[in-house]
Amino acid sequence: MKSGKILLLFGSSGDLGTAALNYFLTQNYDHYYIFSRNKIGTEIGKKNYDLIITENLTVEENVAEAFAKVKKQSDLNYFLFSTIGAFFGGKSIAETEYTDLQKMIGTNFYTSFLIAKHFSALIDGTKGGSICFTSASSGFEPEAGKAAYNISKNALNFLVESLALEGKEIGLRANAVAPFAIDTPSNREWMKDLSRLISPGEICRVVQTLFGDETATGRIIPLPADL
């Protein structure tokens, strides 16, 4: 008998979050847990979901409270996609305020670490599953004016690789997508080469492919693929 599939989606607002919600609702999951700091604008035409409003996810108590609302069953597979992230750029290291660095590390790394920690606990003792984070291509190599952002994404990449190693013991696979820039109206205003933009829908399709590939773990996928 085929095991049931449960999807957890963190960051269900914004351009990527909204696209992810719309995309994954069309996929074959038995139940959805949708985590958002705000009420979502998407009309959900399904009954098999829980909408969970979250507080600041850099605080572990809030993350633990969110995961406590997920029903754990030993005969289920769990999948998690996090679109959570923030950007800061345009300033040198000398110009960057410490609070800006804290915000990048907090949103892009601490939140991901806590989600990884509590998802690992959820997975342990079940059929297993897969988690995918949203990194960035600039996390692979430094760029001037983006130190705080790039450092936070590089830390996320290392988290994914570490989680992939540890996850083998509990049937947990860990990956990340690393877009150069997401195709949004605001990004189109400054991007000269539009071919380097990746659509939210394409990102979601890559994530779904990673979820379906039982050999995929420890991968950080640059997007577009020719980067």
State pLDDT tens for residues 142-192: 889 999 999 999 999 999 999 999 999 999 999 999 998 877 766 666 666
Q: What CATH number does the domain located at 4-223 have?
A: 3.40.50.720
Once rounded to an integer, what is the mean pLDDT over residues 195-204?
A: 87
pLDDT of amino acid 38:
82
pTM of the model: 0.93
Cβ distance 204 to 20 under 8 Å? yes
> What stretch of H or E contains 22?
helix 14-24
Strands 181-182 and 197-198: parallel
CA 66, CA 56: separation in Å to the nearest integer? 11
Cα 166 from chain centroid?
A: 18
pLDDT of amino acid 15:
84
Peptide bond into 224 cis (omega under 30): yes
CA 207, CA 131: separation in Å to the nearest integer? 9
For 78-136, the pLDDT digits (tens) are 999 999 999 998 999 999 999 999 999 999 999 999 999 999 999 999 999 999 999 99
Backbone angles phi, psi at 156, to 5 degrees: -60, -45
Q: For residues 117, 121, 124 and 126, what is the CA-based torsion angle, rounded to 10 degrees? A: -110
CA 64, CA 69: separation in Å to the nearest integer? 9
In the numeric block, the tokens 């950080």 are attached to 220
CA 2, CA 5: separation in Å to the nearest integer? 9
Query: pLDDT tier at 227 (50, 70, 90 boundaries)?
Result: very low
Query: pLDDT tier at 1 (50, 70, 90 boundaries)?
Result: very low
In the numeric block, the tokens 């004016």 are attached to 145
The two structure tokens encoding residue 24: 């994954």
The two structure tokens encoding residue 119: 């998802």
The answer to whether residue 208 scores a pLDDT higher than 90 is yes
pLDDT of amino acid 192:
62
Cα 49 from chain centroid?
A: 19
| Domains of the chain, residue spans | 4-223
